[in-house]
């Protein structure tokens, strides 16, 4: 018997809901292989157990009645159903006044080939990117106070990337969203989304020095969005550099055009830090890295709680690879919502260079992440 409330049904009727769960089960290890940067266990004689969990909302104490004990059992405390054999599992919740009944099919499906990643190969770029994020969140709790990088307009010292030593000063604190990508010839250059751009941006250094930039001059990157279907949805904006800003706010590092060659196994989940309009530091997996950068939700047990749906107003928010050393590597600014998608920086370096140089910058002044120590698979 237990009490749950106050989320109960109108008129006092209890709510009984059964959600489907699936558990992978492994047979004998068929082989362990190396696929470029990933070490993989392959199970050819594996399976999936399809079961469920019961959720009840009631304003009265209740109990479960298992009407199919030969098919499965139910945990009175957690509502978890354990399969004993294939069949229809029927459960009734009884709160003393009413009874609600529901059922779910339990089954085990065999012969399913499974590939499970064991680890990233040592010394690969994927290993660096993954461990950098996992190490950064190691002592963090995914509650709202740890995600925002700002608090009252100042840096939030307990935000997980700040606490891990990353300098987030290059991220605009206001909307529309922007990111510092370089300093050259007395100017600050920032990257925005073409469809959500402006000429004023504010940046806050780690010591809470505020740099409010105004009067920006901008240049769209590549063809207009109406021509290339947002594949170059970038705008470079130039500001006069305030004294001391470059010393306190390092620009985001740029990726090389060959970036996809260093991350050939995106299907196994390479984590990235994505920002939103509220300056929350979120974590997603990058699932596509060509003309577009597409994100998906990480299913890593330590990372999935740092995810949120991208919505209107998040456009222009940057997505970064974390590579240690306190620096960020920008790979896109968001154009589309949902999981999140935007044009790839690495695929548009030539057009970004044209925009920078047309605004008076020298491309050689811009910094790139150094991948010389890592293997690649062209």
Residue-level pLDDT at 138: 82
Task: Kindly report the number of other CB atoms within 10 A of residue 168's CB atom.
Answer: 26
Whether 11 shows a pLDDT value over 60: the answer reads no
Integer Rg of the chain from CA: 25
Percent composition of the chain: helix, strand, coil (DSSP 3-state, to 5): 15, 40, 45
Average pLDDT over residues 214-242: 95
Q: Which of 9-23, 293-307, 334-348 has the highest mean pLDDT?
A: 334-348
Residue-level pLDDT at 23: 79
Residue-level pLDDT at 145: 55
Q: What distance separates the 2 farthest-apart alpha carbons in the chain?
A: 78
Average pLDDT over residues 225-246: 94
Q: Over the chain, what is the mean pLDDT?
A: 88
Using CA atoms, how far residue 220 sits from 196, 286, 335, 351, in Å, is 11, 25, 14, 9
Average pLDDT over residues 182-190: 98
Percent of the chain surpassing pLDDT 70: 92
Residue-level pLDDT at 141: 67
309: its two tokens: 């749906």
Residue-level pLDDT at 1: 27
Of 234, 237, 242, 235, the closest CA to residue 204 belongs to: 242
Q: Quote the pTM value.
A: 0.76
């Amino acid at each position: 018997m237990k009490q749950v409330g106050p989320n109960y049904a109108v008129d006092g009727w209890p709510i009984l809901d059964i959600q489907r769960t699936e558990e992978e089960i492994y047979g004998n290890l068929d082989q362990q292989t190396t696929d470029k940067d990933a070490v993989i266990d392959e199970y050819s004689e594996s399976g999936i157990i399809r079961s469920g969990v019961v959720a009840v909302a009631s304003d009265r104490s209740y109990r479960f009645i298992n009407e199919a004990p030969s098919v499965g059992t139910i945990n009175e405390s957690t509502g978890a159903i354990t399969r004993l054999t294939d069949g229809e599992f029927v459960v009734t919740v009884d709160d003393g006044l009413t009874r609600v009944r529901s059922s779910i099919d339990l089954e085990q499906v065999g012969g399913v080939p499974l590939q499970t990643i064991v680890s990233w190969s040592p010394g690969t770029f994927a290993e660096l990117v993954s461990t950098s994020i996992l190490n950064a969140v190691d002592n963090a709790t995914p509650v709202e106070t740890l995600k925002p990088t700002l608090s009252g307009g100042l840096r939030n010292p307990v935000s997980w990337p700040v606490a891990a030593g990353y300098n987030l000063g290059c991220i605009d604190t206001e909307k529309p969203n922007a990111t510092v990508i370089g300093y050259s010839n007395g100017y600050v250059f920032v990257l925005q989304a073409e469809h959500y751009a402006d000429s004023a941006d504010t940046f806050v250094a780690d010591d809470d020095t505020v740099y409010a930039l105004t009067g920006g001059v901008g240049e769209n990157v590549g063809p207009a969005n109406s021509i290339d279907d947002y594949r170059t949805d970038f705008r470079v904006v130039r500001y006069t550099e305030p004294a001391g800003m470059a010393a306190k706010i390092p620009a985001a590092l740029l990726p090389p055009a060959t970036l996809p060659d260093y991350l050939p196994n995106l299907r196994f989940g390479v984590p990235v830090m994505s920002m939103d309009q509220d300056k929350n530091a979120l974590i997603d997996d990058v699932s596509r890295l060509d003309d577009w950068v597409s994100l998906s939700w990480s299913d890593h047990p330590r990372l999935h709680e740092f995810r949120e749906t991208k919505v209107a107003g998040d456009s222009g928010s940057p997505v970064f690879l974390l590579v240690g050393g306190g620096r960020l590597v920008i790979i896109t600014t968001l154009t589309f919502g949902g999981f999140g998608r935007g044009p790839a920086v690495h695929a548009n370096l030539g057009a970004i260079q044209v925009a920078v140089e047309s605004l008076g910058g020298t491309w050689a002044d811009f910094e790139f992440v150094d991948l010389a120590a890592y293997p690649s698979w062209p």
